[in-house]
């Protein structure tokens, strides 16, 4: 029997081929990378006639894997996948989460929102006039501050709304000065109430290096959910937002009322209006009257009084004023800083004509109808005015 001259070579080749295949299987199994994953998905074998894997006499031959796909296929598929995530999956997830959150919020707030009806509106200008009649030439009754809520009671007059304020004052405002979006003044939607207690505060577009949106005046009330380092992010009319610095403002809980301060704080606030331009029924640094100063200074110090001086003459406690028997002049010893002094009208002594606020011994800060600005008046030197004192009220 003849020996097989290729037996040894065949055996040696089979051992080497088995080792190579085993090494290849291990390498393929350990290929866990992303690129390997995509290769498994998108690659396929290409076999040609005569090149299939075959076994002949124990000899194994296989052809290498060949890819039958264009070079641009994977990038196109990757772009389509990213586009799908960005333009469909992402927005779908965000919208779903937002709807769930909004529905949850609405379910919690629908029954407690105070101004979520068409009857309410919010002032969107720095300050607007409240007229006695629906006419720009009518007498000014008072003023309404930025972001203040008004209740509309009549819309029948073109260009005007008849409104009632939170202190029951009624009058007419221009319809274009308010917005029906009341989210900026709903206490239940916010953590803090921010009250401007300085002369004015700029509300900015950004927390630093922004531009001014509006300069909010003393007494303006804003709401916030965010307090940073010396700054608040506040909600504004028409669903916008702004930033205001922490100095010159008072922060309290959203549903809380301003706590009553003291006479010194009230007196200091009143003095800040010295030399302010006189405007009938005005109550800001842009222009003020005596009753307007008394109203706004009391408000930011936690005491609510009427805007009308006739009603103010009934506020607080009466102060007994003594008079000198010989001169008939009042003795100023009984007056304290912050007292409201009311003078008889020269036309009708039965009603209040003017009023002032005591800012020192025998001195009152007041607006005289014949003067262009708010000034301090010395009652000791103006005997006619001093003798016309009708009543004194103490609110602090």
Domain count, the chain: 3
Q: How much is the pLDDT for 146?
A: 98
- Whether residues 133 and 173 fall in one domain: yes
Q: How much is the pLDDT for 110?
A: 52
Q: What is the CATH number of the domain that holds 152?
A: 2.30.30.40
Q: Given 197, 230, 257, which residue is the final one in a domain?
A: 257
Q: Is residue 31 part of a domain?
A: no
- Whether residues 121 and 253 fall in one domain: yes
- Whether residues 128 and 181 fall in one domain: yes
pLDDT digits (tens, 9 = 90+) for 173-199: 999 999 999 999 999 999 999 999 999
- Whether residues 334 and 303 fall in one domain: yes
pLDDT digits (tens, 9 = 90+) for 81-115: 787 766 666 566 565 554 444 444 444 445 578 89
- Whether residues 98 and 120 fall in one domain: no
- Whether residues 246 and 338 fall in one domain: no
Q: Is residue 6 part of a domain?
A: no
Least confidently predicted of 21-25, 94-98, 297-301: 94-98
- Whether residues 125 and 100 fall in one domain: no
Q: How much is the pLDDT for 210?
A: 87
- Whether residues 147 and 240 fall in one domain: yes
More confident residue, 55 or 339: 339
Residue 51 has pLDDT above 70, yes or no: no
Q: Is residue 219 part of a domain?
A: yes
Q: Given 72, 91, 111, which residue is the final one in a domain?
A: 111
State which residues form the domain around 240. Answer: 116-257
More confident residue, 384 or 11: 384
- Compute the average pLDDT of residues 65-70: 58
- Whether residues 245 and 269 fall in one domain: no
Q: Is residue 295 part of a domain?
A: yes
Q: How much is the pLDDT for 10?
A: 53
- Whether residues 197 and 83 fall in one domain: no
Secondary structure of the chain in HEC code, one letter for each residue: CCCCCCHHHHHHHHHHHHHHHHHHHHHHHCCCCHHHHHHHHHCCCCCCCCCCCEEECCEEECCCCCCCCCCCHHHHHHHHHHHHHHHHHHHHHHHHHHHHHHHHHHHHHCCCCCCCCCCEEEECCCEEEEECCCCCCCCEEEEEECCCEEEEEECCCCCEEEEECCCCCEEEEEHHHEECCCHHHCHHHCCEEEEECCCEEEEECCCCCCCEEEEEECCCEEEEEEECCCEEEEEEHHHEEEEEECCCEEEEECCCCCCCCCHHHHHHHHHCCCCCEECCCCEECCEECHHHHHHHHHHCCCCCCCCCHHHHCCCCEECCCCECCCCCCECHHHCCCCCEEEEECCCCCCCEEEEEEEEECCEEEECCCCCCECEEEECCCCHHHHHCEEEEEECC
Q: How much is the pLDDT for 34?
A: 57
- Whether residues 220 and 240 fall in one domain: yes
- Whether residues 197 and 153 fall in one domain: yes
More confident residue, 98 or 72: 72
Mean pLDDT value across the chain: 83
Q: What is the CATH number of the domain that holds 321?
A: 3.90.1720.10
Max mean pLDDT among 91-95, 221-225, 376-380 falls in 221-225
Q: Given 257, 292, 323, which residue is the final one in a domain?
A: 257
Q: Is residue 344 part of a domain?
A: yes
Q: Is residue 29 part of a domain?
A: no
What band does 388 get if pLDDT is binned at 50, 70 and 90? very high
């Amino acid at each position: 029997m003849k020996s097989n001259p290729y037996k040894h070579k065949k055996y040696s080749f089979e051992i080497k081929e088995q080792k190579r295949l085993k090494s290849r299987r291990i390498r393929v199994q350990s290929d866990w990378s992303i690129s390997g994953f995509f290769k498994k998905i998108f690659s396929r074998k290409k076999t040609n006639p005569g090149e299939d894997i075959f076994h002949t006499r124990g000899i194994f031959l296989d052809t290498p894997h060949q890819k039958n796909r264009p070079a641009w296929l994977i990038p196109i598929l990757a772009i389509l996948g990213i586009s799908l995530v960005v333009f469909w999956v992402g927005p779908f997830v965000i919208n779903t989460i937002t709807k769930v959150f909004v529905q949850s919020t609405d379910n919690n707030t629908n029954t407690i929102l105070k101004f979520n009806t068409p009857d309410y509106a919010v002032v969107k200008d720095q300050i607007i006039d409240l007229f006695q009649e629906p006419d720009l030439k009518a007498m000014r009754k008072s003023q309404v501050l930025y972001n203040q809520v008004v209740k509309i009671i009549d819309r029948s007059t073109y260009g005007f709304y008849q409104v009632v304020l939170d202190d029951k004052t009624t009058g007419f405002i221009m319809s274009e000065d308010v917005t029906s979006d009341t989210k900026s003044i709903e206490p239940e939607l916010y953590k803090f109430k921010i009250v401007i207690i300085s002369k004015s505060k700029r509300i900015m577009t950004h927390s630093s290096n922004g531009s001014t949106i509006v300069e909010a005046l003393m007494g303006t009330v804003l709401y916030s959910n965010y307090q940073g380092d010396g700054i608040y992010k506040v909600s504004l009319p028409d669903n916008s937002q702004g930033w205001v610095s922490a100095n010159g403002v008072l922060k309290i809980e959203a549903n809380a009322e301003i706590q009553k301060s003291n006479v010194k704080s009230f007196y200091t606030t009143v003095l800040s209006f010295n030399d302010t331009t006189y405007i009938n029924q005005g109550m800001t640094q842009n222009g003020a009257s005596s009753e307007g100063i008394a109203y706004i200074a009391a408000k930011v110090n936690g005491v609510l009084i009427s805007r009308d001086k006739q009603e103010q003459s009934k506020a607080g406690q009466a102060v007994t004023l003594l008079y000198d028997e010989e001169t008939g002049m009042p003795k100023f010893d009984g007056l304290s800083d912050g007292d409201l002094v009311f003078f008889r009208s020269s036309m009708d002594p039965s009603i209040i004509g003017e009023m002032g606020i005591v800012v020192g011994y025998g001195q009152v800060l007041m607006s005289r109808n014949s003067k262009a600005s708010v000034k301090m008046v010395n009652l000791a030197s103006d005997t006619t005015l001093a003798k016309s004192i009708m009543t004194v009220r103490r609110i602090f």
